[in-house]
Amino acid sequence: MVQVTGRSDLLSRASDSVYSLAVGDASAMLAEKNVAFGLAKMKTVLEDRGVDSGRVSCLFSPDGGITRNQKRWASGFGYGCLIRWPTKEDAGRSFAFPELRPNACGVIVVRIEGPPSAHQLWQRIQSMGHKRLTIDGSDLVLNIGVSNHFVEVSEVTSSIHPDIRSGEVVAVIHTSPSELKSEMYDYDAWIERGGQWCQTEYGPLLVLEGPVAEDYNDRYRLVDEFAQKKRSYIAKTLFGECDEICNVTHQGLSGDGSASLGVYRSGESSVFPLTLRPDLPTYLMNIRQNLSPQAIKGSGWHQRAVDLGHLDDILTSNIMPHGGGYSLNMTPDSISATQMDGKTVFELREGQRATILSDTRDLPYGYRGEEVLEAVQRHSLADIVSVATPLYTLKYA
């Protein structure tokens, strides 16, 4: 059954529920416009079920911006953000939204002895790729070169962390459990289990409710456990016995009623890696218990967060970016968004010139750099405890 509903003020309320600490470039501006449509859909289906949708909100971290995952973008979501909705305690039952596409992507950082040369490590990766390797009965997919995944060997050049010393060598591995992504991404399977496509004024949204949502959350936890095992397995296979500094997820469900899309949240570890570009260091950081009221009063949206009842959720977000996020070679003066033929269409104005688009995948893009770190420090999100300068970076697909 398909439900069709709409409310004239929903998009405005959803837009007001978007808060941003991002750097304010074209990528961030597009994402902030896009996510308003995703939140409007979430609010619609919750209110249709008699659930107070006031808790639906999105907080962008400094790396907030577009996602090149077309299905996530088309559903009305961006990247580098924490999205929240009513918990089971709030609503009396759980809700889940598979179009957020949580996949337990993450990073492991390990301390290594006697680091191999770049060619030696390539040969080790290639040898892994030629073997059939399994974890918990699942064939391992060696995807450390797909998209923005990589393995990087770096030297610690400065550190105030008691267990990380200057001169040590660390390996940083960014990968995901693509072996199990169908557990999260197979929409038809979740429909068979009891999910429902709900048609709203702002497009369709796949909704899981009650026991099927709890099943989804449970399955995600298993996928996340597998992802951590996979990262650890790859590290030990490539580098032998190594000391794990951190093994953390930045793309997944971060508790009942929340999804971390490209951000870390404190509680998983004491150290989190900020990886920007191959030509820049990896920053190992401690997340602060953020955000402080003082930090957000200069944001321009403090009073709005108070008025809408989002301040407590924002103060307990405890997030930091995992990377720099995508940058676009555009400097628009303004961005507007509307819906045409079921798609969200964006118009970017730069002087007299207009660019109109719906899909961000084919835009020329790069990766942001130190401006994201500067924003982390400006908003007092996290503190640097160690700096690791890359010796080499490998991508194997």
Give the model's pLDDT for residue 1: 26
Give the chain's largest Cα–Cα span: 63
Give the model's pLDDT for residue 79: 97
Preceding peptide of 291 cis, ω within 30°: yes
Q: Which residues contact 256 (CB under 8 A, 6 or more apart)?
A: 87, 88, 89, 94, 217
How many CB atoms lie under 10 A from the CB of residue 7? 15
What are 335-382's pLDDT values in tens digits? 999 998 888 999 999 999 999 999 998 888 999 999 999 999 999 999
Number of domains in the chain: 1
**Which CATH number belongs to the domain containing residue 28 in this structure?**
3.90.1860
User: Tens-of-pLDDT digits for all 397 residues of the chain?
Assistant: 233 344 568 999 999 999 999 999 999 999 999 999 999 999 999 999 999 999 999 999 999 999 989 999 999 999 999 999 999 999 999 999 999 999 999 999 999 998 999 999 999 999 998 888 899 888 898 988 888 899 999 999 999 999 999 999 999 999 999 999 899 999 999 999 999 999 999 999 999 999 999 999 999 999 999 999 999 999 999 999 999 999 999 999 998 999 999 999 987 678 999 999 999 999 999 999 878 777 788 888 999 999 999 999 999 999 999 999 999 999 999 999 999 888 899 999 999 999 999 999 888 899 999 999 999 999 999 999 999 999 999 998 7
CA 104, 84, 41, 64 torsion-angle sign: negative
For residue 125, which amino acid is it?
A: I
What are 168-211's pLDDT values in tens digits? 999 999 999 999 989 999 999 999 999 999 999 999 999 999 99
Q: Which domain covers residue 102, as residue numbers?
A: 3-394
Q: Which residues contact 339 (CB under 8 A, 6 or more apart)?
A: 37, 202, 203, 345
Residue 39 CA from chain centroid, whole number: 16
Q: Rounded distance, CA 273 to CA 269, Å?
A: 10
Q: Rounded distance, CA 284 to CA 156, Å?
A: 10
